[in-house]
């Protein structure tokens, strides 16, 4: 589909001009360092606590001049299929451009940071890379390492079509530097319907995070299944579970204060969430410390686990599984206590400076911003599009329901674990806090580390 065909479908997105990402316009910057050499200190050293894998810090050997090298982490669950659907569309429009895929596998980008930081700082970046828009980009914009694509990519048609708040997230320091491609929801509680039935648990009856603990205990008593298919190998899933519990217990206003760093006045509330997590942890899989998020999800698919708190990328994995149907075999409710909240996670691609393939990169970013790209990518990925004019007929019943929830949502807070809400330095401290918490379940220590992270 070309750009001309993208007009005229505005009815598909009734809240098209609504601002939806809380605080998106107020993305903080730390000041421009001005050049790559000064930028080292803006970037956090990787402490080794959050990596599933280490990526390749060099371009692959088969990259020729002008080739489009893409670094991303979409290799798990159904994510690779979504990425390939995007590339298929791009190749159809640009058969002349050679795409070189260079993944840095690891859920929630747990391995990509080091690879990308080093390459970008060394002046040896890939053509483009996957990054969360908003706060996650600020070390790069502070150091002037991302090109302003406000004229070359963001033409009037594209600006008009995108949700305003997503456009704002794409300019953390003023210039437009990113092309967002999706909107995921994080506050999902997925479940295996048969396992819940056999335990006599009705997910729609669970009103709050404490009620979820009761349901986990019932599953534990009544079935052989693992109550909560959680992974602790890498800290991001516990950090995001903390966010969900906190939102479910305290609501979006307290969550906003927390994200703003007002942790001390919320000490009791933070401790309450941590204490509940300690109780949840009794219901994690025995192998929680050695599995990835999609392996946890496979346990749910196989009926060996009941619940999973995860972004709706998990639904992309269900879609890629035969004989595992939405509404029959699996279903989802908003994480207890968060009905009306659309806890959003967004991915984007950028144009690093010193670009090895300026023309191909510009074509790719242009394409990522089209209806065609977002219509191919999102239904497979398990996300909804940030453009307001993407026809939703091919998105299936689950994403149609998510889309309705998005449109009816009363708040759309940004996420900590997926980088939109807090700067990378804070994000990295919080990951370390939750890596330790996964090990020792120490509420005091975790509270202090969270307070100090801000
Ligand atoms: C998120 C990312 C999603 C998905 C998920 C699991 O950070 O935004 O697209 O990949 O991690 O790895």
Taking only the tens place, the pLDDT of each residue in 330-386 is: 999 999 999 999 999 999 999 999 999 999 999 999 999 999 999 999 999 999 999
- Give pLDDT, residue 410: 95
Please tell me the residue having the least CA distance from ligand 1 atom 5. Answer: 108
CB 347 near ligand 1, within 6 Å: yes
Quote the tokens at residue 2.
């070309």
Please tell me the residue having the least CA distance from ligand 1 atom 9. Answer: 347
Give ∠ CA 232-238-241 in degrees, rounded to 5.
140
Give 19's contacts (C-beta < 8 A, 6+ positions apart).
25, 164, 165
Closest listed residue to residue 178, CA positions, set 135, 226, 118, 213:
135
- Give pLDDT, residue 439: 98
- Give the 3-state secondary structure percentages of the chain, helix then strand then coil, rounded to 5: 45, 10, 40
What dihedral angle (degrees, nearest 10) is formed by the CA atoms of 77, 68, 152, 179? Answer: 10
What value does the mean pLDDT of the chain take?
89
Longest dimension (CA), the chain: 61
What are the C-alpha distances in Å from 125 to residues 144, 145, 171, 356? 14, 10, 20, 7
Instruction: Report CA torsion sign: 159, 160, 166, 167.
Output: positive
- Give pLDDT, residue 449: 98
Chain position carrying tokens 């217990």: 249
State in Å: Cα 223 to ligand 1 middle: 31
- Give pLDDT, residue 61: 78
Question: Is-contact 419 259, C-beta < 8 A?
Answer: no
Chain position carrying tokens 């929630």: 108
Of the CA atoms within 13 Å of residue 321, those in its CB half-sphere come to 19
What is the position in ligand 1's atom list of the atom closest to the CA of 76? 12
The DSSP line for 13-67 is: -TTTT---STTGGG--------SHHHHGGGSPPP-SSS-SS---SS--TTPPTT-
Which ranges of 79-163 would DSSP assign to H, the alpha helix?
79-93, 112-121, 138-142, 156-161
| Residue of 82, 103, 293, 311 with the most ligand 1 atoms within 8 Å of its CB, for mutation | 311
Q: Kindly report, residue by residue over 255-295, the tens digit of the pLDDT.
A: 999 999 999 999 999 999 999 999 999 999 999 999 999 99
- Give pLDDT, residue 345: 97
State in Å: Cα 56 to ligand 1 middle: 19
Question: Is-contact 229 296, C-beta < 8 A?
Answer: yes
Strand ranges in 88-229 using DSSP code E only, listed in sequence order: 99-101, 128-131, 178-180, 184-185, 188-192, 226-228
Q: What is the pTM of this model?
A: 0.90
> For the chain, which ranges sit under pLDDT 50?
1-19, 21-39, 45-55
């Amino acid at each position: 589909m070309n750009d001309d065909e993208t007009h005229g479908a505005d009815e598909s997105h009734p809240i098209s001009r609504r601002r939806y990402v809380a605080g998106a316009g107020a993305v903080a910057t730390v000041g421009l360092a001005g050049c790559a050499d000064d930028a080292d200190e803006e970037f956090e050293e990787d402490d080794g606590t959050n990596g599933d894998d280490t990526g390749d810090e060099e371009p692959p050997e088969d990259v020729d001049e002008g080739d489009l090298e893409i670094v991303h982490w979409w290799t798990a669950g159904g994510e690779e299929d979504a990425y390939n659907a995007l590339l298929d569309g791009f190749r159809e429009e640009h058969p002349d451009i050679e795409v070189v895929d260079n993944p840095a596998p690891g859920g929630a980008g747990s391995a990509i940071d080091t690879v990308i930081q080093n390459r970008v700082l060394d002046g040896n970046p890939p053509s483009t890379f996957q990054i969360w828009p908003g706060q996650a980009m600020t070390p790069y914009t502070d150091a002037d390492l991302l090109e302003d694509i406000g004229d070359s990519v963001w033409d009037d048609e594209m600006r008009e079509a995108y949700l305003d708040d997503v456009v704002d997230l794409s300019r953390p320091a003023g210039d437009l530097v990113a092309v967002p491609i999706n909107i995921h929801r994080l506050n999902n509680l997925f479940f295996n319907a048969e396992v819940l039935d056999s335990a006599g648990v009705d997910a729609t009856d669970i009103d709050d995070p404490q009620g979820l603990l009761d349901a986990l205990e019932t599953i534990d008593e009544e079935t052989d299944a693992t109550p909560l298919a959680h992974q602790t190998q890498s800290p991001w899933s516990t950090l995001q579970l903390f966010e969900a519990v906190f939102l479910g217990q305290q609501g979006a206003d307290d969550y906003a204060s927390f994200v703003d760093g007002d942790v001390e006045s919320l000490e009791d509330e933070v401790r309450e969430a941590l204490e509940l997590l300690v109780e949840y942890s009794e219901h994690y899989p025995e192998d929680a410390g050695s599995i990835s998020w999609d392996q946890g999800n496979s346990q749910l698919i196989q009926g060996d686990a009941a619940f999973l708190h995860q972004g709706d990328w998990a639904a992309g994995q269900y879609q890629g599984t035969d004989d595992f149907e939405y509404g029959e075999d699996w279903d989802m409710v908003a994480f207890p206590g968060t009905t009306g909240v659309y806890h959003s996670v967004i991915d984007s691609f950028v144009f690093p400076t010193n670009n090895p393939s300026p023309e191909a990169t510009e074509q790719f970013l242009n394409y990522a911003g089209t209806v065609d790209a977002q219509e191919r990518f999102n239904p497979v990925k398990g996300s909804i599009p940030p453009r307001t004019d993407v026809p939703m007929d091919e998105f299936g019943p689950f994403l149609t329901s998510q889309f309705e929830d998005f449109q009816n949502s009363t708040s759309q807070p940004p996420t900590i674990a997926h980088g939109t809400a807090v700067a990378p330095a804070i994000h990295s401290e919080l990951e370390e806090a939750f890596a330790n918490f996964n090990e020792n379940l120490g509420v005091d220590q975790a509270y202090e580390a969270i307070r100090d992270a801000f």
